[in-house]
Amino acid sequence: MLRLVLVRESITMHKPWFQHPENPGRVVEVKSTLSTEGYSFIEESIQRFNYGEALKTAKRVHSSEYIEYLEKLSCRAPIEIDEDTYMAKDTLNLALGFLNLAYEYSLKSNSAFLVGRPPGHHAGFNGATPGVSTQGFCILNNAAGAIRGFIDAGYKRILALDFDAHHGNGTMEIFYRERILQVDLHQDPTTLYPHTGYPDEVGEGEGYGYKANIVLPRYTGDDLLVELVGLIRDLLVKYSPEAIVVSAGFDAFENDGLADLALTEASYYALGSLVRELNAPTVVLLEGGYSVGLKRGLLAFIKGLQGENPEYPLLTKTPSTARRLALESTSRVLDKVSRRVLQTA
């Protein structure tokens, strides 16, 4: 049973001193929506983590130089790390606590949806990844922390699934040369930050063939996304992951505000149902989602995870030419990845 876990300090810490879409109101919105629907949370506090212990965990994911850089910035906070990413005086403590929580849950094979912030999938080994100008609201990579936890627990076949509208470039960079199967569905990188995650980026070294970047054309609707989930399912069922980390972003929901995709409940329900079907220890981490996605998309995803059976029609359609090209591109990527992964898993 996958538990819903609220990181309590996400509502009180890491507050911007100017208007910014990544703010405590996001978690307040999630809590309110799910409470109204009758779901209950386990509340976790980061206060139980020793600062030194949390630093050690962070250095399993990021370079010591990057962590030291964040500590120096924290002494000068409030400060902007870059044009998108801010740091309040308590930001580093919250980021360290969230990362450590993700690591702990996976290390103990506890399945949970950790609702917390700040998000993390854009934070690479040294912060902003090479060729990318900002960290996109992210401080530390929570998904990478969860993956490290599963590795330390002895799991071999680990799946990292990311369906935020923006490519999870930080997570991809950290594990690009490792045999972690990473499937990332995101808006066409020619049209959206961080402008990475092209279909030909399939990994290097031991990680070659373990990276599947599924590019969604602008205005992707439910028809295409649900069909893509079916294609991905074939690979993942054969792979049969022993453990799963999900970077769950809800900013691809129609009119959420920071992307050009048009998904609705049917898409997120399909993603939740896919994760449930794989039936492995799973840690889900909140990434993006800034308005309607956090209400309707997240709720539908949880219903899929829990095996509920609502009726969600396919409300939105993808432009026909873009849909055909996306399906062709995805088939080529999955064919290449399948051949490699199923031979070496």
Catalytic residues: 122
Strand-pairing partners, residue 187, are 216
Q: Which of 178, 135, 189 is nearest to 155 (CA)?
A: 178
Within 10 angstroms of residue 237's Cβ, the number of other Cβ atoms is 12
Cα separation, 224 vs 10, in Å, equals 34
Helix residue spans in 51-113 (DSSP H): 51-58, 64-76, 91-107
Contacts of 321 (CB under 8 A, 6+ apart): none
Q: Which two tokens stand for residue 74?
A: 């924290």
Phi and psi torsions of 310, nearest 5°: -75, 165
Burial class (CB in 10 A: 0-12, 13-18, 19+), 186: buried
